Amino acid sequence: MKIFKDKDMQLLLSNVLRAGTVVSISIVFFGGIVFMLRHGHSISDYRKFNGIPVFVRNPSGIFHGILAFKGQAIIQFGIVLLIATPILRIIFSAIGFVFEKDYMYLGISLLVLGIIFVSMMSGHAG
């Protein structure tokens, strides 16, 4: 008798995806409100391209930007969470395959995680 059924696993995975999406969208929305409250009155100069600020290009900059209550950093954090949500789903799937003793799908899940990790670390993530 299985303690952890397939239906339980599917419910857990759907809840992970749903919660990750709702939380990340809420954070992006909140960051947009903060950004508009702080910068909504400024006029954009479309003749010059500024790109993204330096402080949102790395995790420590995003963290310090959130502590400084910068809207762009909050938005960037929400986007990072949105990107991390399907990766978290693969991790939970792999854990579920361990409980089910389904080693073929565990191997496939770990291979997918490895490909994602290598592509992120090499800079070829998209």
What are 14-70's pLDDT values in tens digits?
998 999 999 999 999 999 999 999 988 888 788 888 778 888 888 889 999 999 999
The answer to whether the Cα torsion of 88, 89, 92, 97 is positive or negative is negative
Q: What is the mean pLDDT of residues 65-94?
A: 92
Average pLDDT for the chain: 87
- Angstrom distances, CA of residue 96 to CA of 62, 63, 112, 116: 32, 32, 15, 19
